[in-house]
Amino acid sequence: MERASNAVRRCAVYTRKSSEEGLEQDFNSLHAQREACEAFIKSQQGEGWRLVKTAYDDGGLSGGTMERPALQRLLEDIRHGLVDVVVVYKVDRLTRSLADFAKMVEVFDAQGVSFGVGPFAGRDRALRRTRQTLRHAPDEAGFRIASVR
């Protein structure tokens, strides 16, 4: 699915925290992740990026499974064509499983959705390992991680 360079790109932020510790605070890890991702989306407004207001936040849930309510809502919204870019603070917030990441990328690719990791990506060891692994995957696998500035 090809998009014009000035087209609006609807961006969904996904956040996750494994433990429930600290979630009761007025400002917690989920809020910090969301705030950083929203700032990143705002920095990309010239590229047509716009924040989707729906919150996709999974607090107290492991990244080792895809059985997370907000993640499932996000994937469903992607399937319905409501999201163009998924933005996460770090790739391990989306998943800790390469197999699950591959499943998500299939959904993303089927809908022409990009995956963006904020400007913190250079410091994200999990993303670097994923990119290294995917670099060796066959081209027909269709994996891609959006290159964002």
Domain with residue 53: its CATH number is: 3.40.50.1390
Q: Is residue 146 part of a domain?
A: no
Helices (H), the chain: 29-43, 69-79, 91-94, 98-111, 125-135
Q: Is residue 147 part of a domain?
A: no
Q: Is residue 16 part of a domain?
A: yes
Q: Is residue 127 part of a domain?
A: yes
Q: Is residue 102 part of a domain?
A: yes
Q: Which residues pair with 12 in a beta bridge?
A: 86
pLDDT in tens, the chain (149 residues): 555 566 999 999 999 887 677 666 676 688 889 999 999 999 999 999 999 999 999 988 888 899 999 999 999 999 999 999 999 998 888 888 899 999 999 999 999 999 888 665 444 444 445 445 444 444 444 444 444 43
- What pTM was estimated for this model as a whole? 0.75
Domain limits for position 71: 9-141
Q: Is residue 83 part of a domain?
A: yes
Q: Is residue 130 part of a domain?
A: yes
